[in-house]
């Protein structure tokens, strides 16, 4: 097969990449800066990595932006994060449209501040018809809550007599997850040397390739993304099977 983008065959490009953006606070603290500065610098990484995914032909990029556990952070930091997200959505909306990027979210969005939800919905609506890379932000997201919500939805269908418990399959559970209809997750990246999933896409990551980078998120750019994708391309994915005998 002839090389495609960046010297990789099309089959070697992950359709769906997810990133746990870690290290903003440590990046700032090591420079004697407030943690909020790390979050600000992290936005530049988001812009560059989204562009890098477009260059590579990645269909979807999902970023772990705010977890259900992040509510325990100090209130001033939370207020700053919501203000930063709102500014990002307002400022980047036209750029997303210009580059054909579709914007989506997963998580319990309705629990976020109203002014943030309004900008999320505006950006989703403005980009709904675009067909380039999908940028998905996981906001107020937790995988255990996602799976619990799916189980509750199925239980309600069983109680209503719409569904027999014996008819519940893995595919049916997936159809009730927040990520229903999205491409299967191929590559999950975590920055800042941490090597855990932190309640992120636990079901979806069951056969994803994992890549851990020592780089703090504010320093992570499209070149680092390329290295992760090239590492992914060198791996042999067997999904529990065996390598075919030559």
Report domain extents, the chain: 15-141+184-232
Is residue 62 classed as helix, strand or coil in its secondary structure? Answer: strand
Q: How far apart are the first and last CA of the chain?
A: 18
pLDDT at residue 71, as a whole number:
97
Is residue 187 classed as helix, strand or coil in its secondary structure? Answer: strand
Cβ-defined contacts of 203-211 (< 8 Å, 24+): 203/143, 203/146, 203/147, 203/173, 203/174, 203/177, 204/18, 204/177, 204/179, 205/18, 207/237, 207/239, 207/240, 208/18, 209/14, 209/235, 209/237, 211/187
Q: Cα–chain-centroid distance for residue 121?
A: 18
The string of DSSP letters for 100-169 reads T-EEEEES-GGGS-HHHHHHHHHHHHHHTT--SPEEEEEEEE-HHHHHHHHHHHHHHHHHTTS--GGG--
Handedness of CA 192, 196, 200, 203 (dihedral sign): positive
pLDDT at residue 2, as a whole number:
46
Containing 196, the helix (H) or strand (E) segment is none
pLDDT tens for the chain, residues 1 to 246: 445 678 889 899 999 999 999 999 999 999 999 999 999 999 999 999 999 999 999 999 999 999 999 999 999 999 999 999 999 999 999 999 999 999 999 999 999 999 999 999 999 999 999 999 999 999 999 999 999 999 999 999 999 999 999 999 999 999 999 999 999 999 999 999 999 999 999 999 999 999 999 999 999 999 999 999 999 999 988 777 656 555
Distance CA 61, CA 155 (A): 31
Inter-CA distances, 112 with 30, 83, 105, 116, Å: 30, 12, 12, 7
Angle between helices 114-127 and 75-98 (to 10 degrees): 20
Tell me the whole-structure pTM to 2 decimals: 0.94
pLDDT at residue 33, as a whole number:
97
DSSP assignment letter at 18:
E
Helix, strand, coil % in the chain, rounded to nearest 5: 50, 15, 35
Superfamily of domain 15-141+184-232: Decaprenyl diphosphate synthase-like (3.40.1180.10)
Contacts of 174 (CB under 8 A, 6+ apart): 180, 203
| Residues catalogued as catalytic | 22, 70
Handedness of CA 146, 85, 205, 55 (dihedral sign): positive
Q: How many residues does the chain have?
A: 246
CB-count burial class (<10 Å; 0-12, 13-18, 19+) for 228 = buried
DSSP assignment letter at 5:
G
């Amino acid at each position: 097969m002839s090389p495609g983008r960046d010297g990789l065959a099309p089959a070697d490009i992950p359709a769906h990449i997810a990133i746990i953006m870690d290290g903003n606070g440590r990046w700032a603290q090591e420079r004697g800066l407030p943690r909020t500065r790390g979050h600000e610098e992290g936005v530049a990484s988001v812009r560059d990595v989204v562009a890098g995914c477009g260059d590579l032909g990645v269909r979807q990029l999902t970023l772990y932006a705010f977890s259900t556990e992040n509510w325990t952070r100090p209130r001033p930091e939370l207020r700053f994060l919501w203000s930063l997200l709102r500014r990002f959505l307002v400022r980047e909306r036209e750029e997303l449209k210009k580059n054909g990027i579709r914007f989506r979210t997963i998580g319990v969005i309705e629990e976020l501040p109203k002014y943030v939800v309004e900008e999320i919905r505006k950006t989703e609506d403005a980009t709904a018809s675009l067909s380039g890379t999908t940028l998905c932000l996981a906001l107020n997201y937790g995988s255990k809550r996602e799976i619990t919500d799916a189980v509750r939805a199925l239980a309600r269908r069983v109680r209503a007599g719409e569904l027999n418990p014996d008819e519940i399959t893995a595919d049916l559970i997936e159809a009730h997850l927040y990520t229903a209809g999205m491409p299967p997750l191929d590559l999950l990246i975590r920055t800042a040397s941490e090597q855990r999933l932190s309640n992120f896409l636990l079901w979806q990551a069951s056969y994803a390739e994992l890549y851990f980078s020592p780089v703090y998120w504010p320093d992570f750019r499209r070149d680092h993304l390329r290295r992760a994708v090239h590492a992914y391309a060198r791996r042999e994915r067997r999904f529990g099977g065996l390598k075919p005998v030559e």
